[in-house]
Structure 1
Amino acid sequence: MQSSDPGNFFETDAEQETRKRRAAKAGNRYGNPITLKSKILAAVADPRFPSSAVLVAESAGSVRRVNLDDADNIKTSYRGPTAPVSCVAVGGPDSRTLFAGSWDKAVWSWDLTTKAPGLKYLGHSDFVKAVVCAKLGETHVLISGGADKKIIVWDIAAGTRLHTLQDSVVNMLSIQDLVVDHAASKWNEIYLLSASSDPHIRRWRIRLDAWEQIIDPSPDTPGTERHTILEHETTVYKLVLDQDTDEVDLWTASGDGTAKCLSRLKGFACDDTFHHGAHVRAVAVTDQWVITAGRDENLKFWDRTSGKLFCSLEGHYDEVTELVILRSSNGQKRVCSVSIDTTVRSWPLDKASLGAIAEEQQKPPPTADENDADEDIEDNGLMMTIDEEAELAALMEEDD
């Protein structure tokens, strides 16, 4: 019988201490945790319920819709892959198609409403780690990035490959994230930004019939060209384009322990740096806050105007993999965080509520309730094997 209990395998003293610390921390209720049965590797807002639901990528090989306001209503799932799902996106006509990149090297798709399986996009030779949707003229496209160092542009309706993007000058490593620069894009031309396991951020111009990597004048050395944006020391995990300001600056999260604001007006040169202090896996921004999270398990809220740390909140007991800003029709916002600890949590964004949580966390922690997890969630029988656990750990450490 195969066991997934780490206590049955050799562990270093440091690993034992980490496991004990996380077990002691697991019962906390900060962020109103909703517990799933497998690790959560990515998340996006559900466009049908932008203020209350997220679509999460699970290591058990499925995508699940989680309603943050109804912990009992989280069974909607999209199934097909038999390997961990590492990224999700929504796009296509009327944003009705869900896409998921998997460790099985494929991008899967489903009708978002009916859950009916759609086309499967095959072309990567290694894990698919990032997916994003866009439109070129009247053609809806899917863009995927993989551990095979390739970025592939697909015609969503036809299921065919349009382009394969690769850097021929600066060696590009495993793709970590992709984001469409809508502020720069045109009706028939997409501007794409990519992040990878090297510290370089690349910009691409994509049309239906051609693509090119964008070479800009260097903001630091007049008269020279800049092939990539190089503002970090190691892996860039996350790219976010700020939607709350006219400049639409680029925000980044990196394994060098920082999140940065790269100013569009300055040619995407660094305009501000936030020193989180550990690998930063995720960053989210509002008009008031810069929020960072990652390997140290905490969410840090920085005052956007002053750049000062307002508070650091505990809750997760393993690495945080994604932050999603949820917006209601009346303008109210909150941030959702997901983690390898299998929990989905949500946090307020008003200063009074954040301050109250920070003050509460200064008190002795609540007693852990080992029976608190939701036992009604289906796990699809695909819990990660020991080999997959080791492979995930290696992926998370690949920039060290």
Structure 2
Amino acid sequence: MQSSDPRHFFETDAEIQTKERRAAKSSNRYGNPIQLKSKILAAVVDPWAPTSTILVAESAGAVRRVNVDAQGSATTVYRGPTAPVCCVAVGGPKLKTLFAGSWDKAVWSWHLDTKAPDRKYVGHSDFVKAVVCGRMAGKDYLISGGADKKIIVWDIESGARLHTLQDSVVNMLSVQDLVIDHASSTADEISLFSASSDPHIRRWKIRADGWEQLTEPDSLKPGAERRTIVEHETTVYKLALTHPNDEEEEVVDLWTSSGDGTAKCLSRLRDFAPADTFNHGDHVRAVAVTRAWVITGGRDENLKYWNRATGALYCTLEGHFDEVTDLVVLRGSNGEQRRVCSVSIDGTVRTWPLETAVLDALVEEQEKPDDEEDEEDKDAEKAGNLLSADEEAELAALMEDDD
């Protein structure tokens, strides 16, 4: 009889210890976790509910719309792919089309409200790792990047492939992320940053009738140019720009996270040379930026908050019990503070404060001795504040489904 139980296969002591540690950690309630049924590989803010809702890419082959404030963790599911979904974006006419890149080498799309399947964009020869949407010359475009080292520009309406971008001089590896630089785009041109499994960050200028790869002045060699931005030692996983309509930002800099264990602020005024470096300490899979904070997350499962003004580490938050894969900032409304959402291989969506007083209280709670927490848990259980038996069983079933 064959078995899929990992306990029936050889495991090293380190692997066993990791599984035991994660199992013990999985019951924590930090960040008000919403448990989904599979690993979460990416997330974006829902543009129609930016204060409370995100769209997440799941390894089970679906995109899920998650309202982090809804009782019962209300979700809407978009199905179609039978392989893991790696990335998500919203665009098209009136921002009503949801796009998802998959391991099956295609980009799927749905109507955001009705969940009706729309066009499938087929052209990559390997996993689709990144998707973004832009507009130029009065038309809407989809841009996808894949493990096949290609960036493809698609006409959303017709589904036609417009351009295929590749670096003909510096070999580009698997595309990891794409972000549109609204600060330097125009009505007729899209300015694009790309990150890949090599240390190189590339800039592209895309028009309806063609494209070009941009070069940058070399800050170390006056009068010289560099074809790519190279400020990391290895893979650049994520790129972030502050919101183009955020009046708090006078200059929109580029923020990066890398497998070299750092996140960086690359200054636009210094030709994208580093202005700050944040040493997270392990692979940094995601970075989020607000006026006060730089937040990093990655392989070590923790979120780290850095004082944006000084660059100093302010605190470390625990909660996830596997690798953090993405971070998104929810906007505030009606006087409410912004929040940051984190998603993880552990299948949870967690929401964290950005207000200093609330953050300090959470840090204090996490630093309490275990025996003191146990006593408080017992008191809370007596008061009926913990999960019911049915809810505990449901959570356990969800975790078993993910194995």
The answer, yes or no, to whether TM exceeds 0.5 is yes
Q: SS of the counterpart of 1:14?
A: helix
Instruction: Give, in whole Å, the separation in 2 of the partners of 1:102 and 1:373.
Output: 32
Matches within 5 A, 1:292-303: 292-303=296-307
Give 2:214's aligned amino acid: I
1:320 to 311, 319, 324: 324
Q: SS of the counterpart of 1:76?
A: strand
Matches within 5 A, 1:4-23: 4-23=4-23
Instruction: Give, in whole Å, the separation in 1 of the partners of 2:296 and 2:358.
Output: 18
Question: Which residue is 1:267 aligned to?
Answer: 271
2:365 to 346, 352, 360: 360
**Structure 2 gaps, min length 5:** 378-386
Q: SS of the counterpart of 2:81?
A: coil
Matches within 5 A, 1:160-309: 160-243=160-243, 244-309=248-313
Quote how far apart the aligned CAs of 1:139 are. Answer: 1.0
Q: SS of the counterpart of 2:363?
A: helix
Instruction: Give, in whole Å, the separation in 2 of the partners of 1:289 and 1:160.
Output: 41
Matches within 5 A, 1:331-350: 332-350=337-355
Quote how far apart the aligned CAs of 1:228 are. Answer: 0.1
Greater mean deviation of Cα atoms: 183-192 or 354-363: 354-363
Greater mean deviation of Cα atoms: 97-106 or 237-246: 237-246
Deviations 1:312-333 (A, max 9, x none): 0000000000000000333620
Contact 2:63 2:79 in 1 (8 A): yes
Contact 2:293 2:308 in 1 (8 A): yes
1:351 to 348, 356, 369: 356
Over 3 Å counting, the alpha-carbon distance change for 1:96 and 1:376 in structure 2 is farther
Instruction: Give, in whole Å, the separation in 1 of the partners of 2:263 and 2:272.
Output: 14
Over 3 Å counting, the alpha-carbon distance change for 1:227 and 1:348 in structure 2 is same
Question: Which residue is 1:375 aligned to?
Answer: 394
Question: Which residue is 2:29 aligned to?
Answer: 29
Matches within 5 A, 1:44-55: 44-55=44-55
Greater mean deviation of Cα atoms: 358-367 or 123-132: 358-367
Instruction: Give, in whole Å, the separation in 2 of the partners of 1:149 and 1:4.
Output: 34
The structure, 1 or 2, with the larger RCO (C-alpha pairs under 8 Å, 6+ apart) is 1
Matches within 5 A, 1:140-179: 140-179=140-179
Give 2:321's aligned amino acid: Y
Instruction: Give, in whole Å, the separation in 2 of the partners of 1:67 and 1:151.
Output: 31
Contact 1:37 1:377 in 2 (8 A): no
Aligned length: 383
Instruction: Give, in whole Å, the separation in 2 of the partners of 1:256 and 1:16.
Output: 26
Over 3 Å counting, the alpha-carbon distance change for 1:346 and 1:53 in structure 2 is same
Question: Which residue is 1:397 aligned to?
Answer: none
Give 1:96's aligned amino acid: K
Give 2:233's aligned amino acid: E
Identity of aligned residues (%): 69
Question: Which residue is 2:114 aligned to?
Answer: 114
Q: SS of the counterpart of 1:375?
A: helix
Instruction: Give, in whole Å, the separation in 1 of the partners of 2:59 and 2:392.
Output: 17
Work out whether 1:127 is the aligned partner of 2:146. Answer: no
Give 1:21's aligned amino acid: R
Contact 2:65 2:76 in 1 (8 A): yes
Give 2:240's aligned amino acid: V
Over 3 Å counting, the alpha-carbon distance change for 1:338 and 1:3 in structure 2 is farther
Q: SS of the counterpart of 1:18?
A: helix
Instruction: Give, in whole Å, the separation in 1 of the partners of 2:123 and 2:169.
Output: 23
**Structure 1 gaps, min length 5:** 386-400
Instruction: Give, in whole Å, the separation in 1 of the partners of 2:150 and 2:54.
Output: 27
Contact 1:35 1:373 in 2 (8 A): no
Q: Which has the higher helix share?
A: 2
Instruction: Give, in whole Å, the separation in 2 of the partners of 1:191 and 1:375.
Output: 46
Q: SS of the counterpart of 2:322?
A: coil
State TM-score, norm by structure 1: 0.92
Give 2:308's aligned amino acid: R
Deviations 1:268-322 (A, max 9, x none): 1111000001100000000000000000000000111111111100000000000
Quote how far apart the aligned CAs of 1:242 are. Answer: 2.1
Deviations 1:71-111 (A, max 9, x none): 41433100000000000000011110000000000000000
Deviations 1:317-361 (A, max 9, x none): 000000000003336200000000000000010111111111111
